[in-house]
Chains A and B, each alone.
Chain A
Amino acid sequence: MAVQLSKDYNVIINGRDTERLEGVRNRLAEGNHFVWQYDLNDVQNIEQSLTALITDNGIRITHFVHSAGFMKMYPVKMLTAELFNSSFNINVVSAALITKTLTGRKNQKALESAVFISSNISNFGAKAFSVYSSAKAGLDGLMRSLAVELAPEVRVNSVLPGGVRTRMTEHMYQNEELISRLAATYPLGLGQTCDIYHVVRFLLSEDARWITGQQLTVDGGRTVNITG
């Protein structure tokens, strides 16, 4: 997403791992880009850290894509408060606090459009997905309330991808039997990151000027499909 967006926008890339961030930094198109190395699980200092980045560099941030998240499956008997804390911190609380910072005075209230990467599980259920799905549903709840509260200055929407091959899901792709079983449930087949990027780009753009507070499912028809 960042690599594609860097062709048209100056981007600030956030992540925990300095080495991987540098790897992405090197793939960005020419531009005035920044690296914000920060672990979003540490929600106490998000506002302070992001504000420092903005003021130290004299920038204003107009668009925000929240892709941070982790997907691990936990059956009910493995659930702990810590799992929910970190899942909600990374998915929901950080999205709220970043949006708060970008609509604040230090950023000259410059935010125009935010897109949260949710999941097509947000409106459905699956075994061992309670940690992940509740955080994504929470993220979509946040999205709708922010959209109403921040209108008309800021638009806020969610993209709900289905199964896409990324570093987060790579472990699943090592299991051929699992992947072929999964792929059979996707009428348009499994997705690629560019499928999601194009939709995010549309929602960020002025072409989506009157779209706010919406969940946009991009999953090759997976959640529409009840063919037996």
Chain B
Amino acid sequence: MEGRCYLVTGAASGIGRATALLLSEMGAKVLLADIDVNNLERVKTECKNEADILVIDLMDANKIKNLIKEKTVSFGKLHGFVHCAGLPYIAPLKVVNAEKADRIYKLNTYAAIELAKVCSNKQIYAGEHGSFVLISSVYGLVGSAANVGYAMSKGAIVAITKSLAMELVNSGIRVNCVAPGFIKTPMADKVDGMMDAEYYDRLNALHPMGMGQTEDVAKSILFLLSDMSSWMTGAVLNVDGGFTAQ
């Protein structure tokens, strides 16, 4: 991955952090984007290769283009991005509300479209080896109770992946997505607080190989960004310890 430049959103923690560190270890330059400046700085110091940070609120779609454009002037043009930033939304139907659902949609879903728009722009795209990776979820593919807001945001990612794949193929950019199962991340910890031990055991049992780690997902993202997957576009790669095979 030497000579390649990637934007990683949600890079301050979880899957985003693991992906940024792996890309860096493989020789890529990474632009670490997140709203959490303190952890961003920490991840930057952990990177093995050149890295820079971009403090950004991805819910504010109108600012995404200019912030990235300004940054890439000094950082260099991008070969692709990974959109790992996301929020959970566990709520029974009767308490789901439009305001919260809209925030989830803006960050988990629409930001992916805006990032694809910006990163395929000629002023920002490096012009070769283009690959965008979006993060869906097994909960975008299968049903679970009290999850309608999150499922909406992640199910849409699958459709976005396929449509973008077709639209950007002539620009030489591949678009694929990873759909992880349940992984121990800070986002999951936020959910953990809302779950009892019995629910947790049930969740664990849903994964024939047990629950996963952030590195498991990062390695699949690296695979999709790299030329190893050069004949794959519009694909959904489930990294879920067998969750969706059952």
What residues make up the interface of A, taking CB atoms closer than 8 Å to B? 144, 147-148, 151-152, 155, 187-188, 191-192, 195-196, 198-199, 201-202, 207-214, 216-221, 223-225, 227
Stretch from B29-37, B67-75, B236-244 at the A interface:
B236-244
The answer to whether residues A210 and B231 also contact, given A148-B246, A224-B166 and a CB cut-off of 8 A, is no
Minimum CB–CB distance from A2 to chain B (whole Å) comes to 18
Residue of B nearest to A197 (CB): B228
| Minimum distance in angstroms from A41 CB to a CB of chain B | 28
Q: Is B209 a contact partner of A151 (Cβ separation < 8 A)?
A: yes
Which residues of B sit under 8 angstroms from A217, Cβ to Cβ? 232, 235
The answer to whether B208 touches A191, judged by C-beta atoms less than 8 angstroms apart, is no
Asked if B231 and A195 make an inter-chain contact with CB atoms under 8 angstroms apart, the answer reads yes
Of A209, A214, A219, the residue contacting B245 (CB under 8 A) is A214
* Nearest CB of chain A from residue B111's CB, rounded to whole Å: 22
| Complex Cα–Cα for A196 and B166 (A) | 21
Known: A187-B166, A211-B237, A214-B245. Is A220-B208 also a contact (CB below 8 A)? no
Given that A148-B245, A187-B165, A210-B209 are known contacts, is A221 also in contact with B239, CB under 8 Å in the complex?
A: no
Contact in complex: A152, B209 (CB < 8 Å): yes
- Main secondary structure, interface of B, reads mixed
A224:B244 contact, CB within 8 angstroms: no
Q: Is B52 an interface residue (CB 8 A)?
A: no
Considering the chains assembled together, what is the distance between the CA atoms of A217 and B210 in angstroms? 24
Answer yes or no: B234 CB below 8 A from chain A CBs: yes
Q: Which residue of B is nearest A156, CB measured? A: B245
Please name all residues of chain B whose beta carbon is closer than 8 Å to the beta carbon of A201 when the two chains form the complex. Answer: 228
Closest 8 A/B residue pairs (Cβ)? A213-B245, A224-B234, A151-B208, A195-B231, A210-B216, A187-B169, A207-B219, A198-B228
User: Contact between A188 and B231 (Cβ–Cβ < 8 Å)?
Assistant: yes
A214 contacts across to B, CB distance below 8 A: 237-238, 240, 244-245
B233 beta carbon closer than 8 Å to chain A: yes
Q: Considering the complex, which residues of chain B in the window 163-218 have a beta carbon less than 8 Å from any beta carbon of chain A?
A: 165-166, 169, 174, 181, 208-210, 212-213, 216-217
A-B contact pairs, 12 of them (CB 8 A): A151-B241, A187-B165, A188-B174, A192-B231, A198-B227, A207-B219, A210-B216, A214-B240, A219-B231, A220-B231, A220-B232, A225-B234
CB distance from B181 to the nearest CB of A (A): 8
Q: Which residues of B contact A207 (CB under 8 A)?
A: 219-220, 222-223
Q: 13 extra interchain contacts, Cβ-Cβ under 8 A, other than A148-B245, A224-B166?
A: A147-B245, A188-B169, A188-B230, A188-B233, A198-B229, A199-B229, A207-B220, A210-B217, A211-B239, A213-B242, A213-B244, A216-B235, A224-B162
Q: Is the CB of B209 within 8 A of A225?
A: no
B88 to chain A, nearest CB (A): 20
What CA separation (Å) do A225 and B169 show in the bound complex? Answer: 11
> How many Å lie between the Cα of A196 and that of B228 in the bound state?
9
Q: Which residues of B contact A202 (CB under 8 A)?
A: 223, 228-229
Cα-based distance from A45 to B219 in the complex (angstroms): 39
The CA of A180 and the CA of B212, in the complex, are separated in Å by: 44
Report the separation of the CA atoms of residues A202 and B178 in the bound assembly, to the nearest whole angstrom. 15
Chain B residues positioned under 8 Å from A152 (CB to CB): 208-210, 241
Q: Residues of A contacting B209 with CB < 8 Å?
A: 151-152, 155, 210, 212
A213-B235 contact, Cβ under 8 Å, with A151-B241, A207-B223, A224-B166: no
CA distance A210 to B166 in the complex (A): 29
